[in-house]
Amino acid sequence: MKQKIIKFIISLLVIVGGWLPLAVSAGTSEAVSYLKIQTPNEWVTMALVAGGETLVAKDYLKTFSGSSATDYAKRILAIVAVGENPRTFASTDLIAGLKAKAVSGQIGDVTLLNDDAWGILALRAAGESASDSVVAGAKNFLLTNQQPDGSWGWQAGGGSDTNDTAAVLMALAEVGLTYNNSVVQNGFNYLRSNQQLDGGFPYDLAWPASDSGSTAWIMSALYKFNQNPDTWVQGSATPTSFLQSLQIGNGSFKWQSGDAGGLTAMTAYALVALTNSFYPVASLRAQAGSGRRNRMVNIKLTVDLSASEFQAGDLVNLRVRLENLGPDNAQEIDVINVLPESLPGAVAILSSGVWQADKNQWLVSGLAKGASADLKFSFVAPEVVEEKVWANLARAITPSDDEFDQTDNQTSYTFTVTPKVVTPVPPTADLPEVGTATSLNSQIAPKVLGISNEHCSAQIKLTSPNQNLDAWRGQFLKTTDSQLVYYVDATSGQIYCLDNDQAAQQLLSLVGLGINQADISKIPELGESLNADKFSAYLVSVLAGRILLNVETGGSAWYVAKDTGQRTYLGVFGYARETMRNLAVTVEERLLKD
């Protein structure tokens, strides 16, 4: 019992002296106000930075008289938090001083573990590499000393506690361990087993009363791995609700619910957790000579295609997705080789960033931890004379960050395009037989689909060159003195001449683009506004001027107006040509003749 009391006294001194964390989500402004009038120390400084304060006292950090590895570590963390270089800002080179504390492949006292955890956090905050010999040695020392229950204590070979387990987990995140790693999972399993019915956490189960310090540190550890602490629920109580319950009127936080007043250290830890922050509190980009560390990120890249095989003329949908798996926010992400070459007409729709088509890359200026960004393309599968396979390898790079897991930031994809298979429309007994379509004499001569070449022969062709050709792509045309209907194909520019109902049906099979009902529903009908949430502006922009065939309803045909983006049902056989003529733009006959 005496040994347990001694351990409790030591742990309490550690709490009051400033070596534990906290967490909450309301009451941050009150906590900031309280801390601003307290005597500054490292924990207060880091908490104010996490709370968004920019004018934080820092001159006191220049004078250093500490001796232990933890003295060096917390001073380094505070200096980095205020944006200064711990190698030059203080009266001594603190990085060199901390690294000089390395003994026998670990940092500081060979009997302690907490100095290794905080030593890693401090060195990584100052820009030291995860592969640095001192950092790597401390990492291995911590891994070797994990307890069978997944925990760590403040002393090697000593008892377990939640506070040091949380600190070690944050340190391991700095050297590349992810949330799915078994070491990390075992650590969080231990922490969760200590949660009390009030939603909070104690120092250890031998003293099961929840306290603000332990709860805050565990919340910060969860945030470090991009996890939401409030998914850890006991009845209706969460870690956040427990921590909030300990805040009193002056903005400070009590250590335990039975205490009469709040403590500066507890308030500092709580503010870090309340702002969804963790240690180091500063995620600063590397700058030459600044001592600021690279962010630690894991960027995941995926590419999804609507299918793997297409016929020429089919609509291809491709999505490139970036995810930042944390633990820090990411900056300046480049995704290169996004599209294969020779794919014209791809329309890019971005949720974030800039698409540089000339460089075939996507630049995303920033991506918060846990966030994702999408780049979507829609394009028509090109005409091919024989099967062709397009393949590409896309890769995401983060030049200003430390990408600790590079196994999921590149991806290969392929898709195949085959010549369009045209299925002739079978003749119906009570309809005239289909005449043979005339071959093209030139690119701009009309292709005759009707049964009477007399109507649509060479006498009907565009004057060459004709500046209106591109303007007419995707439109039906007619003249005032003829019943003929013309359609100018939206992709090829080919002109089709329709002189009867059979010709109109044949046009549908020749140029119709297969599409499913879900995508058709994203295009507004007549009288509907494109601005409605259920419609897709990018899909309309790709399909404007196209004839669509619903592949799920036996090929019902729709036309998407080039000017309004609204769709019109073209009707069944015998009505399609009439609908096309009603949709047609009237042009002067002289523009259609030699």
Question: What CATH number is given for 2-274 in this structure?
Answer: 1.50.10.20
Whether 9 has a pLDDT exceeding 50, the answer reads no
pLDDT at 325: 84
Question: What CATH number is given for 295-418 in this structure?
Answer: 2.60.40.1530
Q: In whole angstroms, what is the distance from residue 530 CA to residue 526 CA?
A: 10
The SS3 assignment for 453 reads helix
User: Do the Cβ atoms of 99 and 123 come closer than 8 Å?
Assistant: yes
Chain region(s) in the chain for CATH 1.50.10.20: 2-274
Whether 429 has a pLDDT exceeding 60, the answer reads no
Mean pLDDT lowest for which of 158-162, 167-171, 411-415, 421-425? 421-425
Q: Which among 43, 107, 38, 113 has a CA at the least distance from the CA of 81?
A: 43
- The confidence band for 368, taking pLDDT boundaries of 50, 70 and 90, is confident
Q: Which residue has the higher pLDDT, 301 or 508?
A: 301
From its phi and psi, is residue 456 left (phi > 0), alpha (psi between -120 and 50) or beta? Answer: alpha
- The confidence band for 289, taking pLDDT boundaries of 50, 70 and 90, is very low
- Report pTM: 0.50
Whether 190 has a pLDDT exceeding 90, the answer reads yes
Whether 576 has a pLDDT exceeding 60, the answer reads yes
User: Do the Cβ atoms of 536 and 547 come closer than 8 Å?
Assistant: no
pLDDT at 400: 58
| pLDDT 10s digits, 559-572 | 999 888 899 888 75
Q: What is the rounded average pLDDT of the residues 8-29? A: 43
Q: Which two tokens stand for residue 219?
A: 């919340």
Whether 435 has a pLDDT exceeding 60, the answer reads no
| pLDDT 10s digits, 227-259 | 989 999 999 999 999 999 999 999 999 999 999
Q: What are phi and psi of 357, to 5 degrees?
A: -65, -35
Q: In whole angstroms, what is the distance from residue 559 CA to residue 553 CA?
A: 16
pLDDT at 455: 55
- What interhelical angle do 182-193 and 212-224 show, nearest 10? 150
3-state helix, strand and coil shares in percent for the chain, rounded to the nearest 5: 30, 20, 50
% of residues, the chain, pLDDT over 70: 81
Instruction: Using only the alpha carbons of the chain, give its radius of gyration.
Output: 34
Mean pLDDT lowest for which of 18-22, 332-336, 404-408, 522-526? 18-22
- The confidence band for 401, taking pLDDT boundaries of 50, 70 and 90, is low
| pLDDT 10s digits, 436-451 | 332 222 334 455 554 4
Q: What is the rounded average pLDDT of the residues 47-73? A: 93
Q: Which two tokens stand for residue 520?
A: 């058709």
Whether 62 has a pLDDT exceeding 70, the answer reads yes
DSSP 213-232: HHHHHHHHHHHHTT--GGGS
Cβ-based neighbours of 291, under 8 Å, separated by 6 or more: 80, 84, 85, 86, 87, 88, 95, 126, 127
Q: Which residue has the higher pLDDT, 149 or 502?
A: 149
Q: What is the rounded average pLDDT of the residues 343-363? A: 80
Whether 71 has a pLDDT exceeding 80, the answer reads yes
Q: Of all helices (H) and strands (E), which one includes residue 301? A: strand 299-305
Cβ-based neighbours of 557, under 8 Å, separated by 6 or more: 508, 512, 547, 548, 549, 550, 569, 570, 571, 576
pLDDT at 512: 78
Q: In whole angstroms, what is the distance from residue 476 CA to residue 126 CA?
A: 67
Q: What is the rounded average pLDDT of the residues 533-554? A: 79
Q: What is the rounded average pLDDT of the residues 66-86? A: 93
Residue owning tokens 């390898």: 393
Whether 452 has a pLDDT exceeding 60, the answer reads no
Q: In whole angstroms, what is the distance from residue 138 CA to residue 110 CA?
A: 11
| pLDDT 10s digits, 519-535 | 888 899 888 877 777 88
Whether 138 has a pLDDT exceeding 60, the answer reads yes
Chain region(s) in the chain for CATH 2.60.40.1530: 295-418
Q: What is the rounded average pLDDT of the residues 555-561? A: 83
Whether 149 has a pLDDT exceeding 80, the answer reads yes
Whether 220 has a pLDDT exceeding 90, the answer reads yes
Mean pLDDT lowest for which of 12-21, 366-375, 494-503, 539-548? 12-21
Mean pLDDT lowest for which of 141-145, 513-517, 518-522, 583-587? 513-517
Strand partners, 497: 448, 486
Whether 467 has a pLDDT exceeding 60, the answer reads no
Q: What is the mean pLDDT of the chain?
A: 80
Mean pLDDT lowest for which of 76-90, 260-274, 531-545? 531-545
pLDDT at 487: 86
Q: Which two tokens stand for residue 522?
A: 């994203």
